[in-house]
């Protein structure tokens, strides 16, 4: 069974490599991964004067790679599940057999190979010691790959299981945000102590070796001292930990296959809700109401947006702590908009084949695009606007109000337009939502990242005139000139929103069937 599942995974990968976004995503992602792995190998092999220093550097780099495996699916809102467990529910297989097969397929692909290259830097570090140390390093690199892959699977499966119940969905979103937020302070901590690692024998060096991500480098450290028995202990620890992670993942897999998701319950329109009270009963208003309720009820949408909303709000705090001031905190609202935009570029992909309801309704395209834009603004704008209005004054930096108030409307307007533009011009299919809101095997990961970056760059480019005016006003100490940038920001944001919505409407009206074919789950 394991061999059959591996061959299925390889077959699907070969078909995806025939062309299109999936092929571009694969090769670009592989290239960037190989470059990162090469840099890691070079640092492990050369960024030190002694084996002890190299071991500490390797432990820090291994910790960063491990954080990427844990936080990557959370930050990108997706986890690769080319073979979903629900597809094999009716086969005469035990859950344990299926777990073995799916666990084996997790190691098929470019990501584990790239990580094996990165962790293989330990072999170069151990080369001057001798063949025994090189053998220890090779085994440790393989076990480290097994550990990070299984750890990532367990984290994603645990969050998916938490979001299957009504109460668990809210808890799952909170846990997702916390895991995503943990990447930034930990990464800042590693980068802050990085230059001191080589010659440091203090608590930081000990801590990096003590956590599981540092066990493989510690094995090489013990081998360098000639204590091969002690070198085998961390390797045995990685084996035991990988076994425990597999058992935990198997239990979560069984629960996923045997526990149905909590029903949404019957929706009764009583006419007394806030949405029905304040949103007008028009075609656009109906789309706004539908979108707001969908964002609130759909676990996959919430998993994609809400964690990044919180990360965008808290990230400036971490950056300010690192720089020793509070200069970026007043711009928390701008960070919220920036990250929320980059996580919402596939609105029609979330709907899937439900898009046909818009296409078969005469004249519904215009109302649908505008309603989605207004709903997105209602979701992300309140937190950003409140943060922009309160934080500069609360932190005693009132002179930053022109900057914050001029940048915010540009990011909001261009963000709303870009979200709809990309959702109609570069939509992609997502797999049917079954048990895991992070399952995104239909999501071309690297292409998604490129789209997100393009949206962020467009926002910054459109904001360039406002930033230039603010900079000139600050240089000349001319406050009226700085405040004059605010209406210009409003105009630029409005133009960006109008153009994006118009182009999205035209695309939906003229290429609606093609869009439906793109977002149809395969």
* pLDDT given for residue 369 in this prediction: 94
Burial class (CB in 10 A: 0-12, 13-18, 19+), 270: exposed
* pLDDT given for residue 138 in this prediction: 92
Do the beta carbons of residue 184 and residue 280 sit within 8 Å? no
* pLDDT given for residue 502 in this prediction: 95
Q: Determine the Cα–Cα distance for residues 73 and 51; give it in Å rounded to an integer.
A: 34
Run means of pLDDT, 10 residues per run, the chain, 522 residues = 80 70 68 86 77 81 83 60 75 81 84 89 88 90 92 80 55 54 55 52 72 89 86 92 90 78 46 69 90 81 70 67 63 84 84 88 91 92 87 80 90 92 84 56 52 76 89 88 92 93 94 88 69
* pLDDT given for residue 44 in this prediction: 84
Residues 6+ apart with CB under 8 A from 362: none
HEC readout, 204-225:
HHHHHHHCHHHHHHHHHHHHHC
Q: Determine the Cα–Cα distance for residues 116 and 109; give it in Å rounded to an integer.
A: 12
Q: Is 418 helix (H, G, I), strand (E, B) or coil?
A: helix
Of residues 250, 213, 45, the one with CA closest to residue 134: 45
Q: Determine the Cα–Cα distance for residues 149 and 484; give it in Å rounded to an integer.
A: 52
Burial class (CB in 10 A: 0-12, 13-18, 19+), 255: middle
* pLDDT given for residue 204 in this prediction: 67
Q: Determine the Cα–Cα distance for residues 514 and 522; give it in Å rounded to an integer.
A: 15
* pLDDT given for residue 498 in this prediction: 94
Q: Take residue 227 and report the two structure tokens written for it.
A: 């204590």
* pLDDT given for residue 508 in this prediction: 93
Q: Take residue 109 and report the two structure tokens written for it.
A: 């692909």
Burial class (CB in 10 A: 0-12, 13-18, 19+), 274: exposed
User: What is the DSSP secondary structure assignment for residue 182, as one 8-state letter?
Assistant: H
* pLDDT given for residue 375 in this prediction: 93
Do the beta carbons of residue 147 and residue 70 sit within 8 Å? no
Q: Is 0.75 surpassed by the pTM of this model?
A: no
Phi and psi, residue 262, nearest 5°: -65, 135
* pLDDT given for residue 240 in this prediction: 94
Residues 6+ apart with CB under 8 A from 318: 184, 185, 188
Break the chain into its structural domains and give their ranges: 2-258, 274-519
* Cα atoms in the 13 Å half-sphere on the side-chain side of 294: 17
Q: Determine the Cα–Cα distance for residues 334 and 385; give it in Å rounded to an integer.
A: 9
* pLDDT given for residue 142 in this prediction: 93
Q: Torsion-angle region of residue 339: left (phi > 0), alpha (psi -120 to 50) or beta?
A: alpha
* pLDDT given for residue 351 in this prediction: 86
Residues 6+ apart with CB under 8 A from 109: 9, 13, 80
Of residues 252, 250, 93, 246, the one with CA closest to residue 164: 252
Q: Determine the Cα–Cα distance for residues 374 and 501; give it in Å rounded to an integer.
A: 10
- Kindly provide the b/e burial profile for residues 9-24, where b requires at least 16 CB atoms within 10 angstroms of the residue's own CB: beeeeeebeeeebbee
* pLDDT given for residue 143 in this prediction: 93
User: What is the DSSP secondary structure assignment for residue 398, as one 8-state letter?
Assistant: G
* pLDDT given for residue 279 in this prediction: 84
User: What is the DSSP secondary structure assignment for residue 79, as one 8-state letter?
Assistant: B
């Amino acid at each position: 069974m394991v061999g059959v599942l591996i061959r299925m995974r390889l077959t699907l990968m070969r078909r995806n490599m025939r062309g299109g976004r999936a092929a571009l995503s694969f090769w670009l992602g592989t290239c960037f991964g190989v470059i990162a792995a090469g840099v890691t190998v070079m640092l492990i092999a050369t960024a030190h004067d002694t084996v002890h220093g190299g071991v500490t550097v390797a432990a820090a780099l291994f910790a960063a790679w491990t954080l990427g495996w844990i936080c990557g699916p959370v930050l990108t809102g997706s986890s690769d599940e080319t073979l979903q467990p629900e597809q094999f529910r009716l086969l005469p297989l035990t859950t344990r057999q299926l777990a073995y097969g799916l666990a084996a397929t997790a190691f098929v692909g470019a990501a584990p190979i790239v990580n094996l290259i990165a962790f293989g830097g330990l072999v170069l570090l151990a080369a001057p010691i001798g063949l025994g140390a090189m053998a220890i390093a090779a085994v440790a690199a393989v076990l480290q790959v097994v550990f990070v892959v299984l750890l990532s699977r367990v984290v994603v499966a645990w969050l998916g299981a938490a979001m299957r119940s009504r109460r668990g969905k809210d808890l799952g979103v909170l846990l997702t945000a916390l895991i995503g937020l943990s990447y930034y302070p930990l990464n800042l901590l590693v980068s802050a102590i990085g230059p001191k690692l080589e010659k440091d024998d203090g608590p930081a060096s000990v801590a990096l070796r003590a956590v599981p991500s540092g066990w493989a480098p510690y094995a090489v450290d013990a081998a360098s001292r000639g204590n091969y028995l002690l070198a085998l202990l961390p390797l045995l620890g990685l084996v035991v930990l990988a076994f425990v992670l597999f058992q935990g993942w198997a239990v979560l897999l069984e629960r996923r296959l045997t526990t149905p998701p909590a029903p949404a319950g019957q929706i009764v329109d009583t006419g007394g809700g806030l949405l029905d009270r304040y949103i007008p009963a028009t075609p656009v208003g109906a789309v706004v109401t539908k979108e707001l309720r969908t964002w609130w009820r759909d676990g996959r949408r919430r998993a994609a947006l809400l964690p990044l909303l919180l990360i965008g709000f808290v990230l400036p705090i971490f950056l300010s702590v690192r720089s020793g001031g509070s200069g970026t905190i007043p711009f928390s609202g701008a960070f919220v908009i920036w990250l929320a935009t980059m996580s919402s570029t596939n609105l029609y992909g979330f709907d899937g084949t439900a898009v046909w309801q818009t296409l078969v309704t005469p004249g519904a395209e215009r109302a649908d695009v505008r309603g989605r834009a207004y709903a997105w603004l209602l979701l992300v704008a309140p937190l950003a606007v409140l943060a922009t209005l309160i934080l500069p004054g609360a932190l005693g930096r009132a002179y930053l109000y022109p900057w914050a108030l001029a940048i915010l409307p540009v990011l909001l307007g261009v963000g709303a337009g870009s979200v709809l533009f990309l959702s109609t011009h570069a939509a992609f299919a997502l797999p049917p939502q079954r048990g895991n809101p992070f399952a995104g095997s239909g999501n071309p990961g690297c292409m998604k990242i490129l789209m997100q970056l393009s949206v962020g760059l467009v926002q910054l480019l459109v904001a360039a005139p406002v930033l230039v005016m603010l900079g000139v006003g600050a240089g000349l100490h001319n406050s009226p000139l700085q405040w004059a940038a605010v209406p210009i920001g409003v105009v630029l944001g409005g133009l960006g929103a109008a153009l994006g919505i118009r182009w999205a409407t035209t695309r939906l009206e003229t290429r609606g069937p093609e869009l439906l074919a793109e977002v149809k789950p395969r």
